[in-house]
Structure 1
């Protein structure tokens, strides 16, 4: 197997594990996980979580530092997440009555996840 292919697979595995860590973190804070890995042509959302009438669209980033995780969520990725969230909302019967928030959860080695509310 090529080195680049191996590194890509390891990165994908690390990303998936980080998403499950983030989901467990949210559950411990009273959120219900509605779906994970929501994907449409417009983009992808790592986690969609709910707390009462609040829907959180959560981007999970695993980086060496918290700052690195935050800066990894570029304007382009924010636009794709926002577009995917509109597609998800259009499929919800109560979509118009929900409050929305776009969060980031930063996962760094040997640290608790850091949750940035209303990050973008």
Structure 2
């Protein structure tokens, strides 16, 4: 029996990390923290029944953190991660929201295998982790902007 493709399925592979190097690279701690937050946010969305259709989609305006789909709505998710008691929402200012909208337009225009669903939405997920990288708090704001 052949599998039926969901409107949220994507056949494109995850972005490659680039050419391998024999010398280990030092990673920026902010990138490491951001990636951890995106992993936690993606796992949260999958638990809610969303399919993750893109992560780290690069555009000329920046990089979309997560694009998810529930079969009816394509959701562009901005993830803000802080360590300790930081407040993730401080960085979700109007200029950042406008940037995410521009990146979403680029995704819609250039992602050939994107899901074709009737609704679009912009969510924000705030992640707070402790010093060891363990989840302290995760707040998901649907239709944040």
TM-score (structure 2 length as normaliser)? 0.69
Q: Which has the larger radius of gyration?
A: 2
Shift of 1:42: 2.2
Gaps of 5+ in 2: 1-25, 130-134
Q: Does 1:81 align with 2:106?
A: no
Shift of 1:97: 4.8
Equivalent residues of 1:89, 1:95 under 8 A apart: no
Q: Give 4+ residue runs of structure 1 displaced > 4 Å after superposition.
A: 92-97
Which structure dedicates a bigger proportion of its chain to helix?
1
Distance 1:97 1:106 in 2: 26
Q: Does 1:104 align with 2:124?
A: yes
Shift of 1:65: 4.5
The aligned counterpart of 2:88 is 69
TM-score (structure 1 length as normaliser)? 0.82
Equivalent residues of 1:44, 1:80 under 8 A apart: no
Distance 1:17 1:94 in 2: 25
Distance 1:94 1:61 in 2: 24
Q: How many correspondences in the alignment?
A: 113
Distance 2:100 2:108 in 1: 12
Shift of 1:94: 7.2
The residue matched to 1:113 in structure 2 has which SS?
Answer: strand
The aligned counterpart of 1:57 is 76
Kindly report the root-mean-square deviation, in angstroms, between the aligned alpha carbons of the 2 structures. 2.2
Equivalent residues of 2:74, 2:115 under 8 A apart: no
Gaps of 5+ in 1: 1-5
